[in-house]
Chains A and B, each alone.
Chain A
């Protein structure tokens, strides 16, 4: 069974620190990877996607992908209390224009003021 695994947390970091969120996936055929942020009672909101090995930066967020290790991570620099949320990692399965996503159960991040 294809899976995406995340530590459920909570991951507690002080304000201004770097938060590091990790994810592993089982399907070596996965080509695309996504990080979503979900506030309590709200819907998932896309933060970043990454397709290629290496790092991808967008503002305070950096996604890292290592396909050989089947590992994806999200770094949040200068963490703010407003970053406190559940972060969902997702990997694509299938191919072409008809990809499905499989989601991890999410990591709860708590940024302490």
Chain B
């Protein structure tokens, strides 16, 4: 069955370290998205991609980057982790329709 996976599921890191969160989907979807979810803010879009070599900034992109070298993967990198980036991160993908399917999430703690 097609699926979307994220790794690691839990991560603790220190301020200033570079962190990469992985997202892999086997839906063969062109569109992939990264969100963070915090209490009181709901899901906020960090970065998104509409295909290989395409990346775009979302509403909360500062301090984050992505790259899309193939259809299946969209890794999210925190260049220099900050305590404000402690959050739950969700990856999602969609085809030509709008319907997005979410991965299981990564809980990131920055100490």
Contacts and interface: CB of A to CB of B under 8 A. Distances in A.
Interface of A: 32, 34, 36, 42-46, 49, 88, 92, 97-106
Given A46-B99, A105-B41, 8 more contacts: A32-B98, A34-B100, A43-B105, A44-B90, A88-B43, A99-B98, A100-B48, A102-B45
Contact of B50 (A34, A42, A46, A98): A98
B30 A45 contact: no
Contacts of B104: 42-43
Contacts, number: 49
Nearest to A6: B42
Interface residues of B, number: 25
B96 A100 contact: no
A42 B41 CA distance: 17
B42 A105 contact: yes
Given A43-B103, A43-B104, A98-B50, A103 B42 contact: yes
A43 B98 contact: no
Given A97-B30, A100-B48, A46 B101 contact: yes
Identify the interface centre among A34, A101, A104: most chain B CB within 10 Å of its CB: A101
Interface in B9-66: 30-31, 33, 35, 40-45, 48, 50, 58
